Amino acid sequence: MKIKDKSTLILAILIPIAVGTLSAFFAGNTAIYSEITKPPLSPPGVLFPIVWTVLYILMGVSSYIIYTSGDPNSEEALRTYALQLFFNFFWSILFFRLNLFFTSFVWLLALIFLIVKMIREFYRISPKAAYLQIPYLLWCLFAAYLNFMIFRLN
């Protein structure tokens, strides 16, 4: 990947990090995760901010590739990217702040749909940008398992 504009790359990385940080702020105390009954394969709570930081960086780099591609379809792809960030933002609030476990699960399914749509749109422009989103999709699929099982167990 050739970096055309370092400040644009930094901004592209900071956008999803800011979305995640603000979401965590508005979600409030995530201590509920340690208090609820969790399913098998539940990772320790300390792992989540590490994983999300890496995912947000990958998302930012991926969006930068699309933004700087010059492809006429990049605007639509970036709209899908922004919409999935919107869904990403509100999931934590639904789950942690409001404790709406079923609603957050349905919301997460919509997010996963948007991620798949985004990956397909990104792939048409840059396969590399699409591949950078695969860990995000896999993590959200795993999160859907956790979310659904937490709904069932609590």
What type of residue sits at position 72?
P
User: 24-52 burial, b if ≥16 CB within 10 A, otherwise e?
Assistant: beebeeeebbeeeebeeeeeeeeebeeeb
Q: pLDDT tens, 38-64? A: 999 999 989 999 999 999 999 999 999
pLDDT value at residue 32: 82
Q: pLDDT tens, 96-142? A: 999 999 999 999 999 999 999 999 999 999 999 999 999 999 999 99
Q: Has this prediction a pTM greater than 0.85? A: yes
pLDDT value at residue 45: 86
Encoded tokens for 125: 């422009």
Q: pLDDT tens, 57-94? A: 999 999 999 999 999 999 999 999 999 999 999 999 99
Q: pLDDT tens, 13-44? A: 999 999 999 999 999 877 788 889 999 999 99
- For domain 6-153, the CATH class is mainly alpha
pLDDT value at residue 22: 97
